[in-house]
Amino acid sequence: MVLQPEEWVRQHVVHYLLNEKNYPISHINVEKQLLVNNLKKRYDVVVFNPDGDILLLVECKAPKINISQDVFDQIARYNLQLNAKYLMVTNGQNHYYCKMNTKEEMYSFLKTIPHYTP
């Protein structure tokens, strides 16, 4: 089986989360369905806190896809349902990290996401 470009990015993200950020594999969930405005959508990767809340939502794009405002709008719509504290958008070459401020309904860009701390 040949990996599709987006799947290649997704697998590298999971590797990064496990090996660079030390998140336990048991906290990582890949490609599950959710409802957004009554439409069935799929998220790429989420990382759960030990308490079961979603810590991180990741949107993966193929390497040839530019990360645009539309991509951030997409992950923001998904996050209305999931309420992740952090967002990550990547095409495998460019990576963007944000911390959510749900009270003010905005996000601020970060240099990276935090390492796992139990």
Give the Cα separation of 52 and 70 in Å (integer): 29
Task: State mean pLDDT over 61-78.
Answer: 90
pLDDT in tens, 83-100: 999 999 999 999 999 998
Nearest 5°: phi and psi at 114?
Answer: -70, 155
Note the CATH number of domain 5-110: 3.90.320.10
pTM for the model stands at 0.90
Confidence band of 1 (pLDDT split at 50, 70, 90): low
pLDDT reported for residue 12 = 95
Task: State mean pLDDT over 38-59.
Answer: 89
Which residues, 6 or more positions from 30, have their beta carbon under 8 angstroms from its beta carbon?
Answer: 10, 14, 44, 45
Where are the chain's structural domains?
Answer: 5-110
DSSP E strands: which ranges in the chain? 28-36, 39-48, 54-60, 86-90, 95-101, 106-110
